[in-house]
Amino acid sequence: MPLDFAETLRGWRHHLHANPELSLRESETAAFVCGELTKLGVTFASGIGGHGVVGTISRGASNRAVGLRADMDALPIMESTGAEYASRNAGVMHACGHDGHTASLLGAAKLLMEDESWSGVVHLVFQPAEEGFGGAAAMLRDGLLQRFPMERIFGYHNWPGLAAGTVMLHDGPLMAAAGNFEFLVRGQACHAAMPHLGRDPVHGAAQLILALNGIVARQVDPLDTAVISVTKMRGGEANNQIPEVASIGGTFRAHDEGTMGFLEARMRAAADGVAAMSGLEVEVKFSQYLPPTRNHRAEAELGAQVAKGLGLTVRRDMKPTMGAEDFGRFLLEIPGSYAWIGNGDSAGLHNEKYDYNDAILPVAAGYLAAVAKAALG
């Protein structure tokens, strides 16, 4: 790739990294994308499923169409990379590389606009609210596939620990279904020195944590993939008072929808059991969970052949992850595949020291453009 192209990609990425926005608040990010698409001469529609943007490039006589997707939102993390282009928004950070995904999709748009060798339609899907806020589903509800019909869709995620620029494509599952839970435990407040005069929701919450941790260990088939993680606990303000209310929250994941349903049912049963044993009330709330991300075999093979044709190292041997990604919501509607592109030896995703590797921007942009052309061919 020419040096000036790499510099353009890096400039886009650094701007996005310095100006991150949380899920559902990506207005300035979307405006930046629209501005750069305008400069490239790409027509677009905005405000799709929230702050979503779809650019459209048409060339030649063919009316066949494919989609390329990138996510735009950041995370509520305080950055500590020390980079010159570090976040200017305190407590908000591109700790998952969506800045790089967005920049590389803009790069793919630039490559496709300058390439006259292909025919068809490419829809560039810039998705908001990927980080657990259902941005893919929102775009679909807003008529994405009706307004921008596409036969197949492709995307990628950078992958720390995988050699920089290496492309990994799975046949079938690669990322888990994921849901969140919140359990509100209500008892009766009393003096901490007289616990028999109240009903202790903190103790109940602790019992519930133990019960939840036993579900995967003792009730799920060891050959199935599943995880329940309690990540939050709140209750009380004073050292000498047993509070009225305590709460816990976290995430549960699996690669199979049936296992997800089983986990939810057992978690509800655990809450009922703790409530009955302790004389507490337990209110259970589950989010609507993301589906697993499963590549379609033909599209995964297409992506692998494209990457090989570009001279990239291709792997097919890595295990799926329990991380989640709502690209899987698109794959329930139309065929497609989702690649991992190595970020090299970097800090892990969702880490305050993580940074997207600028060196893979041309690789990712080139892969996206090439897979779109191949899919249309």
Host H or E run for residue 99: helix 98-114
Host H or E run for residue 233: strand 226-235
Looking at residue 288, what is its pLDDT?
A: 82
Looking at residue 289, what is its pLDDT?
A: 87
**Cα torsion at 248, 181, 211, 247 (round to 10°)?**
20
pTM metric for this prediction: 0.93
Q: Are residues 15 and 121 in the same domain?
A: yes
Final residue of a structural domain among 286, 312, 339: 286
269 CB-near residues (< 8 Å, 6+ apart):
none
Q: Are residues 52 and 123 in the same domain?
A: yes
- Domain of residue 296: give its range: 3-173+292-376
- Please report, for the domain that includes residue 209, its CATH number: 3.30.70.360
Q: Are residues 35 and 142 in the same domain?
A: yes
**Cα torsion at 236, 237, 241, 242 (round to 10°)?**
0
Host H or E run for residue 285: strand 281-286
If we measure between CA atoms, which residue out of 90, 91, 110, 101 comes closest to residue 40? 110
Each of the 377 residues of the chain gets a pLDDT tens digit; together they read: 577 999 999 999 999 999 999 999 999 999 999 999 999 999 999 999 999 999 999 999 999 999 999 999 999 999 999 999 999 999 999 999 999 999 999 999 999 999 999 999 999 999 999 998 999 999 999 999 999 999 999 999 999 999 999 999 999 999 999 999 999 999 999 999 999 999 999 999 999 999 999 999 999 999 999 999 999 999 999 999 999 999 999 999 999 999 999 999 999 999 999 999 999 999 999 988 899 999 999 999 999 999 999 999 999 999 999 999 999 999 999 999 999 999 999 999 999 999 999 999 999 999 999 999 999 99
Q: Are residues 18 and 162 in the same domain?
A: yes
Alpha-carbon Rg of the chain, whole angstroms?
Answer: 23
d(CA 146, CA 142): 9
Q: Are residues 221 and 360 in the same domain?
A: no
Report strand pairing: 65-71 vs 120-127: parallel
If we measure between CA atoms, which residue out of 142, 129, 138 comes closest to residue 26? 129
Token duo for residue 160: 């720390």
Final residue of a structural domain among 243, 270, 286: 286
Token duo for residue 320: 């799926």
132: left (phi over 0), alpha (psi -120 to 50) or beta: left
Side by side, which strands form the sheet with 245-254?
226-235, 245-254, 177-186, 281-286
Q: Are residues 155 and 209 in the same domain?
A: no
d(CA 158, CA 341): 5
CA angle 69, 41, 27 (to 5 degrees): 55
Host H or E run for residue 260: helix 257-278
Q: Are residues 188 and 282 in the same domain?
A: yes
Looking at residue 80, what is its pLDDT?
A: 98
d(CA 325, CA 130): 7
Q: Are residues 186 and 210 in the same domain?
A: yes
CA distances from 221 to 59, 176, 201, 263 (A): 51, 16, 31, 12
Please give the tally of structural domains in the chain.
Answer: 2
Q: Are residues 363 and 258 in the same domain?
A: no
Looking at residue 1, what is its pLDDT?
A: 58
Final residue of a structural domain among 286, 308, 335: 286
If we measure between CA atoms, which residue out of 375, 368, 371, 369 comes closest to residue 115? 369
Looking at residue 3, what is its pLDDT?
A: 76
Q: Are residues 235 and 271 in the same domain?
A: yes
- Please report, for the domain that includes residue 361, its CATH number: 3.40.630.10
Taking each helix axis as running N to C, give the angle between helix 361-376 and helix 98-114, from 0 to 180 degrees, rounded to the nearest 10: 50
Q: Are residues 183 and 167 in the same domain?
A: no
Q: Are residues 365 and 348 in the same domain?
A: yes
